Amino acid sequence: MNHTQKIKQIIFALFIFSILASTPLWAWFSFFKLSNINWEGNRKISSEQLDQNFQFLLGKNIFKIKLEKIEEKLLADPRVRSVDARRVLPNQLTVSIEEKRPIILVHAKRLLGLSLDLELIPLDSLTEDLPVITGCSFSQVKYYKKLNHKELKLAWDLYQTFLKKDLNLANRISEISVENERNLLVYFMPDGLRASFGVGDWETKLKRLQEVLQREENLSSVDLRFKNMAVLKFKEKKVEQLARI
């Protein structure tokens, strides 16, 4: 850098400093007054309702607003799973909201949603096309309360295994039926294949199912409850067939 460029940089820096120094303190406070809150991710909770709930913050210095207080207030709503509030210079806030949403459906006299936190949640028009858990009964339905339900937990754990190990098969599941406390049935689209999984050791049984599906076609059912084998039933045959795996 030559001597002339250094002089120009110094002059420019002095010019900026003179502007900052001559600007009244009140102007800087006004510059950072909150003018708007941007809401992201909210679907069930309307932006209009959020604006109304937090309108008392408008006009305040964004650096004096405690973001954790905003997050705490939103998390008090049982529909909200997580919140991230951040400042956007010079005078805005952006608040990202993750609402609880159904990961799978549950049929208990009526269709309900089951969230990632194992909470029953009401359904709305925004519900996606999801598989359904059947065969569970509830003495009382309480929304947004974590469930301690043995059969439902078994079905949930089995579905999570599919999601983690074989997403393609998971996307084909139409129903997980709790036949009884010792057996879970899984139905697949589009051919209506039925697989009996028993209880537990999900990953091993899923691996066996994958091997069967790679080798066989036109299956109507697969029973995976037996160690190191599967009982196969074909659509065009009346008899069952044992397959060692």
Instruction: State pLDDT tens for residues 98-150.
Output: 999 999 999 888 888 999 989 999 887 656 689 999 988 877 778 898 888 88
d(CA 144, CA 121): 6
AA letter at 87 = R
Write down the residue that tokens 């139905």 correspond to: 187
Least confident interval from 21-25, 35-39, 173-177: 21-25
- Contact between residue 92 and residue 35 where contact means Cβ atoms under 8 Å apart: yes
CB count in 10 Å sphere of residue 195: 23
Beta-strand relationship, 194-196 and 183-188: antiparallel
The pLDDT of residue 111 is 87
- Contact between residue 144 and residue 78 where contact means Cβ atoms under 8 Å apart: yes
Q: Is the pLDDT of residue 15 over 90?
A: no
CATH tag for 33-99 (out of 3.60.15.10, 3.40.50.150, 3.10.20.310, 3.40.640.10): 3.10.20.310
d(CA 111, CA 241): 37
Name the segment(s) of the chain with CATH classification 3.40.50: 104-244
The confidence band for 16, taking pLDDT boundaries of 50, 70 and 90, is low
AA letter at 10 = I
Q: Is the pLDDT of residue 241 over 70?
A: no
The pLDDT of residue 5 is 63
Helix (H) or strand (E) holding 180: strand 173-180
How is residue 199 written in tokens?
Answer: 């209880």
Q: Pick the more confident residue, 213 or 8.
A: 213
The pLDDT of residue 18 is 60
Write down the residue that tokens 């269709």 correspond to: 111
How is residue 211 written in tokens?
Answer: 């091997």
Name the segment(s) of the chain with CATH classification 3.10.20.310: 33-99
DSSP 181-222: TTEEEEEETTT--EEE--SS-HHHHHHHHHHHHHH--SEEEE
The pLDDT of residue 136 is 84
Q: Which fold has domain 104-244?
A: Rossmann fold (3.40.50)
The pLDDT of residue 181 is 84
d(CA 212, CA 244): 10
Among 188, 184, 179, smallest CA distance to 199 is for: 184
The residues, any chain, with a CB within 8 Å of residue 84's CB and separated by 6 or more, are 71, 95, 96
Q: Is the model's pTM score more than 0.85?
A: no
Least confident interval from 90-94, 124-128, 175-179, 188-192: 124-128
The alpha carbon of 127 is separated from its chain's Cα centroid by a whole number of angstroms, namely 13
How is residue 129 written in tokens?
Answer: 């096309």
Name, of 1-5, 17-21, 234-238, the range with top average pLDDT.
Answer: 234-238
186-229 pLDDT, tens per residue? 999 988 999 999 998 999 999 999 999 998 888 899 999 988 88
Q: Is the pLDDT of residue 9 over 80?
A: no
CB count in 10 Å sphere of residue 40: 11
The pLDDT of residue 17 is 57
The pLDDT of residue 200 is 87
Give me the residues paired with residue 230 across strands: 243
Does the CA dihedral 63-66-68-72 come out positive or negative? negative
- Contact between residue 225 and residue 197 where contact means Cβ atoms under 8 Å apart: yes
d(CA 101, CA 114): 8
41: left (phi over 0), alpha (psi -120 to 50) or beta: left
Mean pLDDT calculated for residue range 34-41? 95
Q: Is the pLDDT of residue 240 over 70?
A: no
